[in-house]
């Protein structure tokens, strides 16, 4: 399949979907806003699988994967997941139709908050988790792993207080690689997910588990609390999170976040239901709001993050350490000088009982 040009606005697809505009584009395809002329021009999302940089052997497997994704999405029926409406091929294009959600992604909502000098409160984030964990529990029960949870892939519909999980991304380079490798008896690990959000086993090894989604959900929760990209509060050399330097939350809630973020999958919660049970033990009496540390400055949130920036937090910590060492060194030098001259300084020599005698001065 050659790389296909973008479908122009006004084009009629499958004799019913009128393309209005392109609303998204990535390495694996495009997303269009379309009007369904057989349902009174009801708006829908049309996803086109159009990979840019895959070899022919990979692309040849795309149709099988595309049909697999359609069947998986067809099994899902949850009010917090966009409805699957069908899939088809036209003029060599693989196309999938889903319900259109009129609302804002949490990346957009966070940007709006930051324009007011705010982020999401601890209370809001805990409720947000309680609203999303049942959705993860539902898809995991259907043996589906989202694999790409981030503020961009969670939406709040207009007029609703329940977030929705979008963009499952089941057809991706990882899936195509695995399918091709299975035919060739080869294993080719391929990165899948989003840098900063996905756990190391997913990014480095191409492995993913149900609690890989829990890991990404915890990272997204911290991003909503702090208002910065996750690589800002992750030490890439020590492979440790230090989000506590950026925001203060309740200890019991922080412990839950830390367990969701455990580096080893076996040390995390094993199900969304386990996280829900842990959150239910948090008392809401005299609930404290999350507070940003004085050094946390709000900047316009962006998820466009380069790997070149991932070492910056370590540099900042190193600079702080150097300043502290310098202050301690100066203090030590002053202390030695004072101790050396203390016999000659009234008041100070009385404290140490080492005042020089007049005969010694003569």
Mean pLDDT rounded to a whole number for the chain: 80
Contact (CB, 8 A) for 80 and 164:
yes
User: Per-residue pLDDT averaged across 115-128, rounded?
Assistant: 96
Predicted model pTM: 0.74
DSSP 350: H
Which positions make up the binding site for ATP?
Answer: 47
Instruction: Give the span between the Cα atoms of 104 and 114, in whole angstroms.
Output: 15
Contact (CB, 8 A) for 165 and 146:
yes
Q: Compute the C-alpha angle 40/43/46, nearest 5°.
A: 125
Instruction: Give the span between the Cα atoms of 348 and 246, in whole angstroms.
Output: 42
Q: How many CB atoms lie within 10 A of CB 155?
A: 24
Read off the pLDDT of residues 90-117 as tens digits, 9 standing for 90 and up.
Answer: 877 889 999 999 999 999 999 999 999 9
Q: Write out the H or E segment, with its range, that includes residue 69.
A: helix 62-75
User: Which has more confidence, 308 or 21?
Assistant: 21
Q: What is the pLDDT of residue 241?
A: 96
**Residues whose CB falls within 8 Å of the CB of residue 56, separated by 6 or more in sequence, listed in order:** none
DSSP 133: H
Instruction: Give the span between the Cα atoms of 305 and 112, in whole angstroms.
Output: 19
Instruction: Give the span between the Cα atoms of 144 and 136, in whole angstroms.
Output: 9
Q: What is the pLDDT of residue 179?
A: 46
Which positions make up the binding site?
Answer: 47
Read off the pLDDT of residues 192-202 as tens digits, 9 standing for 90 and up.
Answer: 568 889 898 88
Instruction: Give the span between the Cα atoms of 99 and 258, in whole angstroms.
Output: 35
- Asked, colleague to colleague, whether 1-100 and 103-305 share their fold, the answer is no
Beta partners for 30?
A: 25, 48
Instruction: Give the span between the Cα atoms of 8 and 32, in whole angstroms.
Output: 10
Instruction: Give the span between the Cα atoms of 295 and 174, in whole angstroms.
Output: 39
Confidence band of 245 (pLDDT split at 50, 70, 90): very high
Which of 52, 58, 44 has the alpha carbon at shortest distance from 25?
Answer: 52
Q: How many CB atoms lie within 10 A of CB 320?
A: 12
Q: What is the pLDDT of residue 106?
A: 98
Q: Is the pLDDT of residue 219 over 70?
A: yes
Q: At the top level of CATH, which class does the domain 103-305 belong to?
A: mainly alpha
Read off the pLDDT of residues 267-306 as tens digits, 9 standing for 90 and up.
Answer: 999 999 999 999 999 976 655 555 665 445 455 556 654 3
Q: At the top level of CATH, which class does the domain 1-100 belong to?
A: alpha beta
Read off the pLDDT of residues 48-87 as tens digits, 9 standing for 90 and up.
Answer: 987 665 565 566 666 676 777 788 788 899 999 999 999 9
Taking only Cα atoms into account, the Rg of the chain, rounded to an integer number of angstroms, comes to 28
Q: What is the pLDDT of residue 292?
A: 61
Instruction: Give the span between the Cα atoms of 327 and 241, in whole angstroms.
Output: 27
Q: What is the pLDDT of residue 265?
A: 96
Q: What is the pLDDT of residue 71?
A: 82
User: Which has more confidence, 356 or 93?
Assistant: 93
In 39-63, which positions are buried (b, 16+ CB within 10 angstroms) versus exposed (e)?
A: eeeeebbbbbbbbeebeeebbebbe
Instruction: Give the span between the Cα atoms of 210 and 315, in whole angstroms.
Output: 34
- Domain boundaries in the chain? 1-100, 103-305, 316-361
Q: What is the pLDDT of residue 10?
A: 97
* Residues in the chain, overall count: 362
> DSSP of 100-112, one letter per residue?
---EEEHHHHHHH
Residues carrying an active site annotation: 148
User: Per-residue pLDDT averaged across 159-174, rounded?
Assistant: 76
Task: Say whether 274 sits in a helix, a strand or coil.
Answer: helix
Q: What percent of the chain has pLDDT over 70?
A: 68
Q: What percent of the chain has pLDDT over 90?
A: 50
């Amino acid at each position: 399949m050659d790389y296909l040009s973008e479908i122009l606005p006004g084009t009629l697809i499958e004799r019913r979907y009128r393309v209005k505009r392109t609303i998204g584009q990535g390495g694996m395809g495009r997303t269009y806003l379309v009007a369904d002329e057989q349902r009174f021009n009801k708006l829908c999302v049309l996803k086109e699988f159009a990979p840019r940089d895959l070899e022919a052997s990979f692309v040849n497997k795309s149709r099988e994967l595309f049909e697999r994704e359609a069947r998986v999405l067809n099994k899902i029926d949850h009010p917090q997941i966009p409805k699957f409406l069908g899939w088809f091929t036209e003029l060599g294009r693989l196309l999938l139709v889903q319900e259109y959600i009129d609302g804002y992604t949490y990346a957009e909502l966070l940007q709006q908050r930051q324009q007011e000098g705010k982020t999401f409160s601890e209370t809001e984030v805990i409720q947000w988790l309680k609203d999303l964990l049942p959705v993860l529990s539902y898809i995991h029960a259907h043996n589906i792993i989202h694999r790409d949870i981030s503020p961009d892939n969670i939406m709040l519909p207009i007029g609703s207080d329940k977030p929705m999980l979008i963009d499952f991304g089941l057809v991706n380079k990882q899936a195509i690689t695995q399918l091709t490798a299975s035919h060739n008896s080869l294993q080719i690990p391929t990165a899948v997910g989003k840098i900063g959000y996905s756990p190391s086993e997913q990014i480095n090894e191409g492995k993913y588990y149900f609690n890989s989604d829990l890991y990404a959900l915890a990272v997204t929760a911290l991003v909503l609390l702090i208002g910065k990209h996750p690589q800002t509060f992750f030490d890439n050399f020590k492979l440790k999170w230090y989000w506590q330097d950026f925001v203060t939350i309740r200890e019991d809630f922080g412990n839950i976040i830390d367990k969701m973020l455990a580096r080893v999958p076996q040390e995390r919660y094993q199900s969304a239901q386990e996280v829900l049970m842990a959150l239910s033990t948090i008392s809401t009496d005299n609930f404290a709001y999350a507070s940003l540390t004085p050094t946390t400055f709000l900047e316009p949130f962006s998820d466009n993050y380069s790997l070149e920036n991932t070492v910056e937090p370590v540099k900042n910590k190193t600079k702080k350490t150097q300043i502290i060492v310098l202050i301690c060194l100066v203090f030590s030098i002053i202390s030695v000088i004072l101790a050396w001259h203390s016999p000659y300084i009234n008041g100070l020599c009385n404290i140490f009982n080492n005042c020089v005698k007049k005969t010694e001065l003569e």
